[in-house]
Amino acid sequence: MIEKRGQWLSLSSTWRASGADAFAVSGFSWKLSGITYSSSSNLSTTLGAGTYPFQLSYNMSLRLTARNFRAAVHRS
């Protein structure tokens, strides 16, 4: 994922949009560089220039699942 510095980074889980209810998928955690930015099914923030380790964790049918990504933010 690549963003420009100062732009809003807005991410949303598609589980609810595809029909899963709050009991099937819950316990969201959006982390950038090990810091939790959101514990809901949505994330909105701005970031400075740099590359950030990014992790989305959630409970699905009482099982913790985590996905790891990298977010790159450019200066211009």
For the CA atoms of 2, 47, 5, 58, the dihedral, rounded to the nearest 10 degrees, stands at: 20
Residue-range definition of the domain harbouring residue 37: 2-74
Which token pair is 22? 């709050």
pLDDT number for residue 56? 86
For residue 38, the tally of other CB atoms under 10 A from its CB is 16
Domains identified in the chain, total number: 1
pLDDT single digits (tens) 20-75: 665 677 788 899 889 999 998 888 888 888 888 888 888 877 777 777 777 777 76
Q: Write down the pLDDT at residue 20.
A: 61
pLDDT at 65: 78
Nearest-angstrom CA–CA distance, 65 and 2: 24
Distance of CA 25 to the CA centre of its chain: 14
What pTM was estimated for this model as a whole?
A: 0.68
With tokens 């992790």, the residue in question is 55
28: domain CATH number is 2.60.40
